[in-house]
Amino acid sequence: MSFDNAAFKQQFPLFQHPENAALVYLDNAATTQRPQCVIDAMVDFYSRFNANTHRSSHRLARQATAMVERVRGQAAAFVNAAGSDEIIFTRGATEALNLLAAGLCANLQPGDEILLSAAEHHANLVPWQMAAERYQLKLRFVPLANGAPAWERLPECVSERTRIVSLTAASNALGFATPLAGLRAAVGNDVVLIVDASQRLAHETLDVQALGIDFLLGSAHKFYGPTGIGLLYGRRRQLQSLPPWQGGGEMITRVTLESSDYAEAPHRFEAGTSSLAAIAGLGACLEFLQGQDRAAMQRYESHLCRYLHTELQQLCLQRPLRLLTAFRYNEGRYSEGRDNVGIAALAPMPGCGVAMADLGHWLDEHDIAVRVGHHCAEPLSVELGVGATLRVSLAGYNNRADVDALVAALASYPWDEVSATAADVEREDAVWPAEDFSSLSLSDLRDQGSWQKRYRQLTRWAGLLQPKPALRLDANRVPGCESPVWIVHRCVEGRHQYLIDTDSRVLQGLAVLLLLLLNDRTGAELATVDVEAQFAELGLEKYLSESRNNGFRALVDFMRARAS
């Protein structure tokens, strides 16, 4: 067998729709697209045998039950579990980790230790933090080196009080892969070893028995399956000792008013009605992946990942950006370009005034989908000394043309309009500086012939918004905005006045526009201002769309709320 990227992409209906003909989808670490077979399997369940499982006596229920247990067997084969009874269906990786944290920690003693890393997704941090606080446990962390956990120091991090080690199989923020083959030997046989494989299952075949893992988990939407369903593998002896997490139907064998008897694993961990259509879709997803030449697919993605990193490194030599890299420790050295699951992260160079959210919006205008933020890995961002990053993540349906389109769009960003520097932000200004926008006209925006020209006009306006470091307090921060925005309001002689500060050039320009529309007006005058209509007339209505992820509507709502 071999891997044919073009034939692979043809199986995903989203890319066949006319509105997506030019789409470059590079947000796969958040969620992958679904092949037609997954969609068909979910429709087939609802249209042919939609019914609850196990306890009903009719034909449809028997079919649904048979489907669930068949998929359980497929999942067991997918990770090479010893049997289907070692597979639990969850709503996703987050629920699986909460289940493990609640169940495993209940039997620990105060002072026992849980070993994690600073590179974990929040889902593999917060549940353990909650359990540690509840049971007086201690959290320890593998130290970082070169932006990745120093895996060679893992054995020294394990103490006689270490009971649980829970680590990501690959960073969702930087993409580096954990050396799974050496984990069991590094931590010893006396600890419970948990692996969050959410970012790795789409790219590589994992064998839980060969790796000596006690628990492995992942979310189906990260490896071409449906949302709302995940799988949790647990070694049989570990599952037998794990107490139930949630109570309700299906996880019991007998209930009285005073007590209950629980079902054997895995059913005792599946309380209530499962996402049955999603399980059907998961089964089709597993069959779809097993039908690929996984080794050839992995080689293709590895080559594409190296091409992505090479092209972005060249871009960073010409633009004020830096490519965040982290290399896996392997045989005494870090190996550049290897052991990455197809993720690249960009951050601004020190002193660069561009906000990553602005680049994300610019790419969206070019129909290129990426993700901007901390990616639910904020402690890693703090360790690296960066704020929001622009994350690019690959899948099997991506190709070099996608990478070329990304690099070209980033290179075409109006960098000449980026004038803010780190020194600007640190300037001391009066708490309420006078800002004069009287020379600006809405027609300046209205007369621009394209979105690129309107964008440039907004970034020129952005330079008129003075930096206001004194505003940057938590009490002034507007919730819901992708880039941090701070705003204060006062009413002077019946007129509502606002100050706004943000690092995003797009939001700075839009803030100037809002101040033109809303600042220094009476309540009666504000009531007559139709912001939505004005933005539509200017061709900027998308910034007020509910689906737009920059949270600009939150800023508008915040200003209106202060005035009212």
**CA atoms of 94 and 90, how far apart (whole Å):** 9
Query: What pLDDT score was predicted for residue 426?
Result: 37
Backbone angles phi, psi at 128, to 5 degrees: -75, -35
**E strands present in 468-513:** 485-492, 495-502
Query: What pLDDT score was predicted for residue 462?
Result: 87
Helix axes 505-518 and 552-563, enclosed angle (nearest 10): 30
Helices (H) and strands (E) counted in the chain, each on its own, are 21, 22
- Provide the residue count of the chain: 564
Give percent of the chain above pLDDT 90: 60
Helix axes 59-79 and 36-48, enclosed angle (nearest 10): 150
pLDDT in tens, the chain (564 residues): 799 999 999 999 999 999 999 999 999 999 999 999 999 999 999 999 999 887 667 999 999 999 999 999 999 999 999 999 999 999 999 999 999 999 999 999 999 999 999 999 999 999 999 999 999 999 999 998 877 899 999 999 999 999 999 999 999 999 999 999 999 999 999 999 999 999 999 999 999 999 999 999 999 999 999 999 999 999 999 999 898 888 877 777 787 777 777 778 888 888 888 899 999 999 999 999 999 999 999 999 999 999 999 999 999 989 999 998 754 434 333 344 458 999 999 999 887 878 898 899 999 999 999 999 889 888 888 888 888 899 999 999 999 999 999 999 999 999 887 644 333 333 334 456 778 887 888 888 888 888 888 888 888 898 888 888 888 888 888 887 777 889 988 888 889 999 999 888 888 888 999 999 999 999 899 989 998 888 888 888 777 666 555 667 788 888 888 887
Query: What pLDDT score was predicted for residue 295?
Result: 95
Q: Which pair of tokens denotes residue 183?
A: 């984990």
> Tell me: the pLDDT tens digits for 380-395?
888 888 888 999 999 9
In angstroms, the Cα distances linking 414 to 318, 319, 475, 538, 548 are: 13, 11, 33, 20, 21
In angstroms, the Cα distances linking 32 to 12, 113, 218 are: 10, 35, 13
Could you confirm whether 352 is annotated as catalytic? no
Domains assigned to the chain: 5-36+293-416 (3.90.1150.10), 53-290 (3.40.640.10), 422-563 (3.90.1010.10)
Which is catalytic among the residues 37, 285, 376, 481?
376
End-to-end CA distance of the chain: 66
Tell me if 393 sits within 8 A of 343, measured CB to CB: yes
Count of C-beta atoms within a 10 Å radius of residue 201: 26
